[in-house]
Amino acid sequence: MLTSLLSEEFSIVEIEMEYFFLFTLSFIFLLFFPFSSAQMPGFVSLDCGGDKNFTDEIGLKWTPDDKITYGEISTISVANETRKQYMTLRHFPADSRKYCYTLDVVSRTRYLLRATFLYGNFDNNNVYPKFDISIGATDWSTIVISDANTTESDSVKKANYLVDVAYGTKKISTNVSIDINREEMPPVKVMQTAVVGTNGSLTYRLNLDGFPAMGRAFSYLAEIEDFPHNESRKFRLVLPGQSEISKAVVNIEENALGKYRVYEPGFNNLSLPFVMSFKLAKTSDSSKGPLLNAMEINKYLEKNDGSPDGEAISSVLSHYSSADWAQEGGDPCLPVPWSWVRCSSDQQPRIVSILLSGKNMTGDIPLDITKLTGLVELWLDGNMLTGPIPDFTGCMDLKIIHLENNQLAGVLPASLGSLPNLKELYVQNNRLSGTIPSELLSKYLLFNYSGNNNLNKGSRKNNQLYVIIGSAVGAAILLLATIISCLCMHKGKRKYYDQDHLVSLSTQNLESKSDGHAEVAHCFSFSEIESSTNNFEKKIGSGGFGVVYYGKQKDGREIAVKVLTSNSYQGKKEFSNEVSSRPSLIYRVTFSYYAL
């Protein structure tokens, strides 16, 4: 995994496989000899597993990859391999994580990137590894290591490469230095080798991994064979189905303006199939068959910008740059998420979970966490976080928040109650204070706030006031119901109200039924009953409704007064029935006391 590579574009990205096989996004073929690159301005060569700087035999300056904190270092020994950079390696666990190198680059600058892999049986298992590499969030290639003692040379007859290699194919080489004069700077040792089709053609069939796709294809040609001036080498590329490409005639010496100089014909935008077949065929006026030093086929990759949360989460990491968990590097979600992050499955995924329980985090909760708009779960419990709880209204998908067992202070933000999907809120064992927002108490929520001594549901005085108001309202309603019941007993009667009592306008005295007069119940005011019973002085019995008191009216008539003490609906109903059925025998008054 290589990260922070390019912000805009790059031209060639290459991997050297073993000695003879070079990948360039898709791959590059370099024929016959090990390749090495000449020093480029700003070029950095990392010796993986190395312990000091050195300069190799062709002038490349190598530095150790000691800035990466992951992986283990091993020493290997391969027969006939003496180059120092191939004597150490760094290897990583066979898990689902990613391990990243971070390279410092300049924006809008073109870079050539190569990575070389040599297994060397470092683990004594004789099992060749297979793994993926990517540039940031962009998938680069799948690496399959093979036997270091076996070439990938195109001169080996096999299903791919030179189809008719056994017939008419000749290998040639020179010790003369080659004038590269190209931006891509192909290795000199590669350009000092070539194959020639002595029978007039070279025929190839290639499997292009990752294709069909758009790409670029180039050949690197240098005339390294001496022949008389009256002879010539001219040939065409024959590409089935693309006649326009097949028209151009190549004369290497003329095109390169001399021998031992590089000529680089090619095409920038080609639609290439998975299986590519082509031929280099001499023209009718050529005395020499076609020559090929090297060729390069690049696949265009669509650059993946990665998670849109990359900037925000990088700002979060800046607070904990020395922590082990903050060293994973690269995009937080691609090609695989960091070990403490969960992401959505979108092409440009969002961070949905942060799992940082018990990571010794200190200081305030980083405000950049609130910029993760796709966040669903936040686990920051068991740390040493201080300061207030931030406003999470920018994270409307939040369902689970765990902030318990920290040292957070201040109030619970009312904005937490506005999160529509919040199901769990754990803030126990902090130093929170103030009143819990009513929205958090009224919604269905797994809510734990214990261990915050200064955090409460609300003022006790307010609670008492609610009780008093409720009691007063209940008493008023009951009193009103009593008055209405009394009024209903006197249908058809006109009444008038005095300041302290209610008197019937009927002048008819209560008589026995034998008098033949209609019977009515008489209503008395409380003050009249109080006077008649001398303030309820003499108790003469008790009944189902309450205590019975003795009384005497002003006209000398004796009365018995029952005081209804039950406030139940059934008691009132029976009271009313008895008044209606025995009006001449019973005189009653009901009253209640309400203490607030």
Concatenating the DSSP letter of every residue in 172-237 gives EE--SPPB--STT---HHHHTEEEEETTSEEEEEEE-TT-SEEEEEEEEEE------TT--B-EEE
566 Cβ neighbours under 8 A, 6+ residues apart: 545, 546
DSSP-derived pairing of the beta strands 266-272 and 213-222 = antiparallel
Residue pair 292/262 in contact by the 8 Å Cβ criterion: no
Tokens 């082509």 sit on residue:
278
Residue pair 221/262 in contact by the 8 Å Cβ criterion: yes
Helices (H) and strands (E) in the chain — how many of each? 7, 41
Rounded to whole angstroms, the Cα distance separating 486 from 588 reads 11
End-to-end CA distance of the chain: 75
Work out the number of other CB atoms within 10 angstroms of the CB of residue 150.
11
Cα three-residue angle 531-518-558, rounded to 5 degrees: 25
Is 170 annotated as a binding-site member? no
In 349-422, DSSP assigns E strands to: 351-355, 362-363, 377-379, 384-385, 400-402, 409-410
In 380-441, DSSP assigns E strands to: 384-385, 400-402, 409-410, 424-426, 431-435
Query: With left for phi above 0 and alpha for psi between -120 and 50, is residue 223 left, alpha or beta?
Result: beta
Rounded to whole angstroms, the Cα distance separating 522 from 561 reads 13
Binding site per annotation, positions for ATP: 562
Q: Residue positions in the annotated binding site? A: 562
